[in-house]
Chains A and B, each alone.
Chain A
Amino acid sequence: MCNVCGCGPGEVRIESDPTGKKVSDHSHQHAHSYDHDHAHDHAHEHHHHEQGHKHHEHHGHDHPHHGDGTHDYGSGPAGASVPGMSQSRMIQLEHDILAKNNTYAAANRQYFSDHGILALNLVSSPGSGKTTLLVRTIEELADGVDAYVVEGDQQTSADADRIRATGAPAIQVNTGKGCHLDGHMVGHAVDHLAPKDGGILFIENVGNLVCPASFDLGEAHKVAILSVTEGEDKPLKYPDMFAAAGVVIINKVDLLPHLDFDIDAAITNARKVNPSIKVLKVSARTGEGMDAWLQWLTAARSMVLAGHQLAVAE
């Protein structure tokens, strides 16, 4: 079972290669180094005095003595070898529970940095228009900028098919029972995608505003997408996600005249949770606000390339 997401073997599927050709169901082949549950049932029963040395200093208290001459200090609550101490011991750990995911995420981040790749983690509720926004973004991206997409959904490869129609390589990751992508699924998907240096990698997370906030994928920024058909109080209802995001895209603004959605209240709420969050108002359908979003992408990409050898070459 996957340690990070809890999915069973075979439930996470990376359905296809970047060109859409079906490949075998993804099997977790990579470094699941601690998954094997060895039944190491060490029966450490502390059989003292087995070598027949002298019994000494037994000041009148009883230990369970076996007929074979062994003294068993290991059984029973009072079977301690040190007076006043129970057999169990305390271990101070201070171990971060999500450390394993963070290790995968750090490896991804290093890879993106080495290759001058801008990686973005797109998070939202289901139905906020993430895929439509992505399709339009890829179509309008400047020539010479390579876009790659990792699509996370519980099931189906419908979204990856929509992305591939634009010509951009896409990998569908089906999380099965899982509710979010994790660092290790993304690392594997990136291996399949083999993005060119200097490209942009869009990671479309599973539609869910809860868990993806806790799972770092190694991205440069989380981009939260909130559509105007949702409530303006969503940033307050799901504060973890809006606190973790660097940008919020308010999508479907072409529908505003038909709705009671208070866009200023939505922005105020987002800023309550995250005072430094950038807000972009976009309609992926009509193209309104796309320029600002593309400018932001260009700027973010420049930041990734700054100091990278690719920047010198451009």
Chain B
Amino acid sequence: MGTGILEQISKSVIEGNQNEADRLTKQAIQDGISAVEILDEGLIPGIRVVGQRFSDGEYYLPELLVSGKAMRFAVQQLEPFLSTGSGSCTGKFLIGTVKGDIHDIGKNIVAMMLKGNRWDVTDLGVDVPPEKVCDAIKGGDYDIFGMSTLLTLTMPAAHETIEAIKKAGLRDKVKIMIGGAPITQEFADKIGADEYAQDVWEAVTKAEQLVGGA
């Protein structure tokens, strides 16, 4: 019974069926399945399939977004039952779009998928100056800082941000990831980022690798 409903929950996320994800999650709670189990064996395997399909070119932004929405609806049902420390959080992720750039869809989708994969995400928003990034790193215990830039023009701001982190003596405190349309591995290496992610799923998997996960 338990296994069946968890598989159905996964399927509802994969299909982006928010009503089903919501209904089945409520049902699973009523059946006495723990919130952690619903998350780890129902929702997360579902969103992982979605991420993989996106990465493989089988799913596109619309499918990714409706699946993400289904996941969010279901997680809302679980929140009252997920006490702090129940189940493990993958890590703490600080994210933002670099100074001078106000584009946010890529960053938002990465943040959404990270949250779906049990990351504790703090979003600094768009047009984030390097000093704000440094303050956040100082004030929080983040595993990774991820920055996004859509514009070729703002690529130097990514470099400046890393330089500011180094200057503040914070470089060893966080791993740094970078992504965005004009970014290449060559550029990421040049500015000294730890990882470059070409798409949202690569961002999730590389983040996990950076903290020694899957």
| A and B pair up | no
Query: Could you list which residues of chain A lie within 8 angstroms of chain B, going by C-beta atoms?
Result: none
